[in-house]
A = this chain, B = another copy of it.
Amino acid sequence: MAAKKKAVVLLSGGLDSATTLAIARQEGFECHALSFDYGQRHKTELVAARRVARSLGAFEHKVATLDMGFIGGSALTDPGLSVPNTPTTGIPITYVPARNTVFLAMALAWAEVLGACELFIGVNAVDYSGYPDCRPAFLQAFEALANLATKAGVEGEGFHIRAPLLHLSKAEIIKVGLGLGVDYRETFSCYAPKEGGRPCGVCDACRLRSKGFADAGLVDPAGV
């Protein structure tokens, strides 16, 4: 029997990354899920990531510690900055500088050692929050970089960056995930959870999630 092909899947514990993991599993990959404790105020998402990794059958799940707190500049990692509770224009204050670059770089390092050729990331360019590192051009540039940066890229098969949600709306993502058996009760999307870990219902992430379920004609089972 041929060995199963391996993939590294970035898993935040949110709706998008859970759906991405389900897609990678359905494609037959042995999935190595990777989350980061990067000083985010919404650590509840790491608990969700653990649940999701288990229930969607990830082969293993690692949480890497990444010190991004010294960098500051984002409402997600800097306690001195508030998460907006109404829509803003332009690139929002919840943008964590170069976050997807850092996350994909770590995923690439792990993929190289595992012998995984695919890196899955749950970004999407439709209902995204205006982050520059969620755009197709960014992903293409990272793939080009990955294949120059590594032993496996230079001497081996090379890497593919897979973003299966890229052109889907939030409602479409939810429908795909439900079709693949994702239990969205297990996922967590809020940037600024209340005490006890309940979602705030008003941050960008909560708003996009609510709108996604509403557009799909569904009720969010996490009950936001």
Binding site for B on A (CB under 8 A): 62, 64-68, 70-73, 90-91, 95-102, 104-106, 108-110, 112-113, 132-133, 135, 137-138, 141-142, 144-146, 148-151, 153-155
Contacts and interface: CB of A to CB of B under 8 A. Distances in A.
B72 A113 contact: yes
- Number of copies of chain A assembled together: 2
A154 B132 contact: yes
Nearest to A137: B148
B68 A65 contact: no
Given A70-B62, A145-B101, A145-B142, A132 B109 contact: no
Contacts of A151: 91, 95, 97, 132
A71 B142 contact: no
A67 B110 CA distance: 11
A97 B148 contact: no
